Amino acid sequence: AELLYPMPPVEEQQAIVEHIDSVLERTNAIIADKKQQIETIEEYKKSLIFEYVTGKKEVQA
């Protein structure tokens, strides 16, 4: 049996695709920003560990 369903006009389909592309672009930009933030925090963490291990900073109790 065939299943028939309505399709929006081509112009509306294009508008939907453009909207999805726009949302995806913003989402990808947010993801890239968060990845950069994580990388920066990881670098800071490594530098702190290095400073404590080498004695440049003292552990406070």
* Confidence at 49, pLDDT banded by 50, 70, 90: very high
- Please provide the distance, in angstroms rounded to a whole number, between the alpha carbons at the two ends of the chain: 75
Q: Where are the domains of the chain?
A: 20-47
pTM, to two decimals: 0.72
pLDDT number for residue 26: 99
Average pLDDT over the chain reads 96
Q: Report d(CA 58, CA 61) in Å as an integer.
A: 10
User: What are the angstrom distances between the C-alpha of 11 and each of 16, 17, 20, 37, 45?
Assistant: 9, 10, 14, 39, 51
Q: Report d(CA 47, CA 33) in Å as an integer.
A: 21
Question: What's the pLDDT tens digit per position in 11-34?
Answer: 999 999 999 999 999 999 999 999
